[in-house]
């Protein structure tokens, strides 16, 4: 399950990535494998043709992987980089559904941004790290 931060991690903790597009283009894109296919299909409704190419959802044209949406890139950043925390403010609802279902990873947002389909997440703040099991409980934690 993913870990949710509502405050920016301290410099001694994990690195926070805010510009998901740039991080993806420079780092995550070089490490894509079959795990990315399902995420790209779910969020961007695109087929991954090769490690660096997708088919456009609009006209089927072959595109460089840098044309993925920011939400899709964010989900992939989280999946492939469990040692970093990623800002999810730019993610659409469809990307949030995928992110909240990832087996691991770290996300940050300073206001509630929750998938309606969420199951369990870890939440982390100044005081503790604990498990939260419902949409309502997570929203309440964010509001505290």
Q: How far is the CB of 131 from another protein (least distance, A)?
A: 26
Question: Could you tell me the smallest distance in angstroms from the CB atom of residue 112 to another protein?
Answer: 11
Tokens linked to 5: 């931060």
Angle at 111 between CA 65 and CA 88, to 5 degrees: 10
User: Least CB distance from residue 42 to another protein, whole Å?
Assistant: 9
Task: Give CA–CA dist 114/127, Å, rounded.
Answer: 21
Residues at the site binding another protein, with contacts judged by CB under 8 A: 18-19, 21-22, 43-46, 57-59, 67-72, 87, 89-95, 111
Nearest to another protein of 59, 126 (CB atom): 59
Residue (27 or 70) nearer to another protein, CB: 70
Q: Is residue 94 classed exposed, middle or buried when 0-12, 13-18 and 19+ CB atoms within 10 A define those classes?
A: middle
Choose between 57 and 122: whose C-beta lies nearer to another protein. Answer: 57
């Amino acid at each position: 399950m993913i870990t949710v931060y509502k405050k920016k991690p301290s410099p001694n903790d994990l690195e926070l990535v805010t510009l998901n597009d740039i991080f993806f283009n420079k780092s995550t894109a070089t490490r894509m494998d079959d795990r990315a296919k399902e995420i790209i299909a779910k969020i961007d409704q695109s087929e991954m043709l090769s490690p660096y190419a997708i088919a456009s959802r609009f006209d089927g044209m072959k595109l460089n992987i840098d044309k993925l949406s920011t939400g899709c890139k964010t989900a992939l950043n989280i999946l492939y980089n469990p040692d970093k925390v990623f800002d999810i403010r730019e993610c659409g609802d469809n990307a949030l559904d995928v992110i909240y279902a990832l087996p691991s990873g770290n996300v940050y947002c300073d206001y509630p941004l929750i998938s309606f389909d969420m199951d369990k997440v870890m939440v982390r703040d100044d005081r503790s790290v604990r498990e939260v099991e419902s949409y309502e409980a997570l929203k309440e934690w964010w509001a505290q």
